[in-house]
Structure 1
């Protein structure tokens, strides 16, 4: 499978057009799959405020589009192949201009940096990290669902080197994922974590050669899209309750919010019938 890396026409199975996007590319490399590519290669794919607002709107559209089941998020490939960035974080030059001119910055979407760092959402986002994920770029993918990374990828929260702090969601998520001492090591020094270290820490699922990375992420997304879309949404949300409430409370809320509803969903009946009849299920679009 060769994943598209340029903007292509919206396929006829998409019900509603996606929001206007200027700083990223949108494509559909396979049925039910959304591919979003940050397209600021000259700036190491850093994101100005406007790009984050765009992505926030795009992820909301993705969650609401019934036929979309999984998304892949990456950076412009041609530039990052030389060892540059998946996303170098916030556009710091723009941020300094905002401070110098005393202008009021646009509010970030509820999803945070890149529309992702504090996103709850309904549907999974798979990251194909093809270079440095620093600052806001790291904050965004810390909240991704699954991460594939190329050998040249590095991860860092260098905010202490710039006189700021990683307040877009990374600090509590890193603490939950890595524990106290590993997190402190990262955030108090601003050092870079290698991709091998990220794999060892459980952040990265696989290290994939640069020329195969995007296809691997899309193939994995297709694997998810072949499952019941309702089951994927509910399972993901029930598991992610722990981000917000802690494990014991999340266990109860998963049953409170979804257990009875799942039994009434048409895809549940279809999945069980397919099992009984020894055939492949024919999943319906999800309108959860």
Structure 2
């Protein structure tokens, strides 16, 4: 059983209620910021199928909620961000013949293959293994505690990392580093992950969440239209390759961005030598 969640009223600036969540804790640490904490520390924050479906619905709500501009994703406790799928449940599903991959389009944690509109910053507070690593690989920015490790141990369990990690480690790390990880299941230390460019900063555990939230505030303080469009245009390379991504970014988003209220506000603020006052994004 998960640790009981504390129900807190949503702040008045949230316009729509978030989906029912039973395996994660939802809070709003600052205006425009969503904080999602996987709340199964006694299970190293591994997720059952139900938990990952919930998060898929939550990220969809996050993208649609106009008052939210950046999310921070972390795990409860100081041992694990997410140890992946609940393997005991997976075995039960296999043995009973039930569907073992009834996941949302974003796949594991609703995130490992998520496209989405808005950024997700990860505060990795410990081990990110299996599906936890697959979800983290598709985050936008990652902060990690000194005890963090990263692994795709599926080959050690007779399965494979098929929720998005395999092409992502290849694109991020190159062929030989990717093969080192996926063919052995070994743990990547936080120091290696930082050297390889996966982790932005290694932050002491007691400061980790505060650092990630402060970083999210920086993003949330910018034009939401610019953040959404810049992120989508850059991430097109995951799907289409660099040259085609550049063309699609121009085709799909440039005109809408330049016609937006926030583009006018940003340029006017520059001309008038004042801080911009951003409007809600309607993208």
Pair 1:136 & 2:125 matched:
no
Which segments of structure 1 move beyond 4 Å, counting only runs of 4 or more?
none
- After superposition, where does 1:129-168 map in structure 2 within 5 Å? 129-168=124-163
- Structure 1 Cα separation of the partners of residues 83 and 48 of structure 2: 11
Q: Show the counterpart of 1:284.
A: 279
Aligned residues: CA RMSD: 1.0
Aligned residues: 279
Structure 1 SS opposite 2:30 = coil
- Structure 1 Cα separation of the partners of residues 282 and 9 of structure 2: 24
Tell me how far 1:8 sits from its aligned partner. 2.8
Structure 1 SS opposite 2:254 = helix
Structure 2 SS opposite 1:37 = strand
Structure 2 SS opposite 1:29 = strand
Q: Show the counterpart of 2:40.
A: 40
2:175 to 167, 171, 180: 180
- Structure 1 Cα separation of the partners of residues 246 and 199 of structure 2: 26
Pair 1:238 & 2:233 matched:
yes
Structure 1 pair 197/7, CA: closer, same or farther in 2 (3 Å)?
farther
Pair 1:208 & 2:200 matched:
no
TM-score by structure 1 length?
0.95
- After superposition, where does 1:247-262 map in structure 2 within 5 Å? 247-262=242-257
1:275 to 255, 263, 270: 270
Tell me how far 1:6 sits from its aligned partner. 6.0
Structure 1 SS opposite 2:252 = helix
- Structure 1 Cα separation of the partners of residues 186 and 6 of structure 2: 33
Tell me how far 1:195 sits from its aligned partner. 0.1
- Structure 1 Cα separation of the partners of residues 110 and 262 of structure 2: 29
List gaps (5 residues or longer) in structure 2.
Answer: none
Tell me how far 1:105 sits from its aligned partner. 3.5
Q: Show the counterpart of 2:23.
A: 23
Deviations 1:54-95 (A, max 9, x none): 000000000000010000000003xx2xxx211000000000
Tell me how far 1:172 sits from its aligned partner. 0.1
Structure 1 SS opposite 2:99 = coil
- Structure 2 Cα separation of the partners of residues 174 and 201 of structure 1: 11
